[in-house]
Amino acid sequence: MSLPLLHAVGKIVQKLFVDKGWGADPNARPLGPWPVSTAKEAGEPDNVLTVYTTAGTDDGRSMIDGERFRHHAVQVRIRALNPRDGEAKGEFISHALDEDAYQETVAVDAAIYEVHCFANVGPLLPLGTEDSASKRSLYTINAKVSLRRLT
């Protein structure tokens, strides 16, 4: 049987993004480009990534021990001051999920996770702009993720 997850899937994926250099640690000072938050989008800076845990899918059970097979899911939200930058970052993230995340080990606090891969990575979806005076552009990408806790 698999070990239960100790962290939200979005938190694990957020740490993967930081480890791979796809975005910056939101707690680092000075703050790097494209800080990656989880569960709540940061108000500043203008260009940010936010990873949300979403509903995954069950993919059956083992006939040997009854273990449930599950694909977890995330939504990556991209917010950018300039639409070109948002689209470019979104296309980069979409490509990276498809081709650059395979058998990755991620440490979150004392837990170690293995991110096997991302699947069903959806297209970059433009959401328009914020209603605020900033008019920052918003995009999302939805994906399933296969992962397990090692320790």
CATH number for the domain formed by residue range(s) 9-149: 3.30.2000.30
Tokens of 37: 């938050």
Domain ranges (residues) in the chain: 9-149
- How do residues 50-85 score in pLDDT, each as one tens digit? 999 999 987 777 788 877 777 899 999 999 999 999
Q: What is the mean pLDDT of residues 114-129?
A: 96
Neighbours of 99 (CB within 10 A): 11
Question: Residue 1's pLDDT band (boundaries 50, 70, 90)?
Answer: low
Query: pTM surpassing 0.85?
Result: yes
SS3 category, 30: coil
- How do residues 78-105 score in pLDDT, each as one tens digit? 999 999 999 999 999 999 999 999 999 9
Taking the CA atoms of residue 78, residue 107, residue 117 and residue 54 in that order, the dihedral angle to the nearest 10 degrees is -50
Q: Find out whether 116 and 149 touch, Cβ atoms under 8 Å.
A: no
